[in-house]
Amino acid sequence: MLSGDRAVSAVPATIAQAIDWYARQGSGNFDAQAQQQFQQWLEADAGHREAWQALNQQLGRTLAPLAKRRGVRQALSNAGSGRRQLLRGALGLGSLAVAGHLLTGAGGPLHARWGADLRTTTAERRSFALEDGSHLLLNAESAVDLHFSAWQRNVQLLRGDVQAQVRSDPGRPFVLGCPWGEAWLDSGRCLLSLAANGAQLWALEGELQLHANGTQQRVKAGEGRAFDGTRWQPLPAAYIDQRRWVAGLLEVHDQPLGAVIEQLRPYHHGVLQISSAAAALRISGVFTLDDSRQALAALGDVLPLRVEHYFGWWTRIDHA
């Protein structure tokens, strides 16, 4: 069992930061300046918000029974290291390492960001070689889990986008899955992308079988399918071409600006905020992913936008 600073080092730094903020808020010395600093930390990265929400959920389940015990109420009201120690203990049977496992383990609320087998960070595209000779290319802020056995090669996309270059392995089909279906292929190349309410699948080389809701579809090379929240179907005339991120590009066809900004977020460091009026504007075009500020400037050249940058990390987009 770990304790103190060794326990903090056993889990992602963002979780430890969230615990520190939680302790400081209850210390009785949390002034307006500290509140502003906390808000800046919270909004600086989506992972900070996820860690904060997960921490509050976990503590809500564990602190309530703990607070009934003698001596614990006093520790909860104390500032400083005593309060932090109790919070760390409450997160996981006396060990923050256990808490980190609960939060980042399979099925945990932070698993895709910190506990996945393969993952990327902001503005990072990365290639991974698999043990069977296949290769995966992950888009920025993407994550997959791997489940390889003697009879199947299974890759589950947890967030973001992945391209798979599949090497033939007779008797062991390659399965690329997401919450709404699975692509089965023996060899070739395919691409799968996740969005808030749907997904996009492409057969790039060779053909694949799409398994979903007890049905099967054959998808030939060069064809794509989109999941609209209900079913898989051919791509509509208005869509985001998810094949293009592989080359560092964002290609959109008659899309609301809000959807375009969501595609830019994984490449943007800091807070990226858009008003509802600006988000409703529609656009088509090709933009660069690797320089989000350049992409925003290009959007401002063709749409009535006001793009403002604050403090070097906060960008706000509004209708001009």
Strand-pair partners of 316: 273, 308
pTM above 0.85, yes or no: no
- What share of the chain has pLDDT > 70, as a percent? 75
The pairing of strands 314-319 and 271-274 is: parallel
| pLDDT tier for residue 235 given thresholds of 50, 70 and 90 | very high
For 46, other C-beta atoms within 10 Å of its C-beta total 15
* CA 219 to each of CA 50, 72, 216, 222, 235: distance values in angstroms, whole numbers, following the listed order: 36, 60, 10, 8, 12
List domains and CATH numbers for the chain: 4-115 (no CATH), 118-235 (2.60.120.1440), 241-319 (3.55.50.30)
Q: What angle do CA 7, 115, 174 make, to 5 degrees?
A: 155
d(CA 293, CA 169): 43
On the question of pLDDT at 129 being above 90, the answer is: yes
Residue 80 corresponds to which tokens in the numbers above? 């400083």
On the question of pLDDT at 168 being above 90, the answer is: yes
pLDDT in tens, 199-229: 999 999 999 999 998 899 999 999 999 998 8
d(CA 204, CA 96): 44
